[in-house]
Amino acid sequence: MKPEEIKQIVKEKYSEIVLQTKEENETSCCGVGSSCCGTDYTIFSENYQKLEGYNADADLGLGCGLPTEYALLKKGDTVIDLGSGARNDCFVARAIVGDEGLVIGLDMTEAMLKKAELNTQKLGFKNVQFVLGDIEQMPLPESKADVVISNCVLNLVPNKAKAFSEIFRVLKSGGHFSISDVVIIGDLPENLKKDAEMYAGCVSGAIDKSEYLQLIEKNGFTDIQIQKEKEVKLPDEILLKYISEQELDAFNNSKTGIYSITVFAEKP
């Protein structure tokens, strides 16, 4: 698929997600229903409910980590949340940075931003903003943020090198990011790599972990750390929709794995 085709698929799928409940989203592939790959998204997601700032209306059950838990946020920080969706991570970040800080949510899906705007209005926050835009070309000034966070989104971005370049640009010198994402160790079966639904489901868009970390380093970041890592096991019945029994046996007996990681890095 061409990059623009991938982005269109992601926009369409996440426009459907925003119309569903958290419970519906947690029992389907990134929330897009039985026509999608059928991944139980609770395999990926973490529980936010005990975190200060949590808002149930903004929780669509779509993350693969808790980047705010590791982001070293402090009062007064300016934070950019990439692929902010309905604003769950934004509201948790806002609880930490306080009234003195600023939280900016960037998303390319208009329906998500409308949902986020409604949630923000209900809460009456004046220092949580939203911007429609592409992570590969952010409509934001350079050196804007103290911290960048993102939760299970960069795996959906076709040009990850450009995404990390843009993150570097919008961070202040001495700023840092904490990003939760999905990566691969080994080689996915070819049919999983090619499938558009699995791309929207945060699997086939993921790249090799070592390549992911190299992209971060190549774009100028330092002090790169894996803050958290866990293996994600897709059920055999899901995998069998895309690969044969023989391929499944080979996959399960290989060293290939799908992992959720939270990675930290600084801009010098």
* pLDDT in the model for residue 148: 98
The pLDDT of 78-84, averaged and rounded, is 94
Confidence check: pLDDT of 221 > 90: yes
Residue with more model confidence, 142 or 243 = 142
Name the percent of the chain lying above pLDDT 90.
Answer: 42
Name the percent of the chain lying above pLDDT 70.
Answer: 78
* pLDDT in the model for residue 42: 46
Beta strands in 3-101 (DSSP E): 78-82
Over the stretch 133-184, which tens digit does the pLDDT of each residue have? Answer: 999 999 999 999 999 999 888 988 999 999 999 999 999 999 999 999 989 9
* pLDDT in the model for residue 143: 98
Asked if residue 142 lies in contact with residue 168, where contact means CB atoms within 8 angstroms, the answer is no
* pLDDT in the model for residue 41: 40
* pLDDT in the model for residue 58: 45
What's the number of CA atoms in the CB half-sphere (13 Å) around residue 222?
Answer: 5
Map out the domains of the chain with their CATH numbers: 3-266 (3.40.50.150)
Exposure string for 56-80, b = 16+ CB within 10 A, e = fewer: eebbbbbbbbbbbbbbebeeebbbb
Reference 258, options 174, 196, 167, 193; nearest CA is: 193
Confidence check: pLDDT of 102 > 70: yes
Considering only 93-107, 110-124, 207-221, which range has the smallest mean pLDDT?
110-124
Residue with more model confidence, 242 or 253 = 253
CA-to-CA separations, 134 to 7, 35, 95, 268, in angstroms, rounded: 9, 26, 26, 24
All residues at 6 or more sequence positions from 107 whose CB lies less than 8 Å from its CB, including other chains: 83, 84, 85, 113, 116, 130, 131, 132, 133
> Binning pLDDT at 50, 70 and 90, where does residue 29 land?
very low
> Binning pLDDT at 50, 70 and 90, where does residue 87 land?
low
All residues at 6 or more sequence positions from 167 whose CB lies less than 8 Å from its CB, including other chains: 82, 148, 177, 219
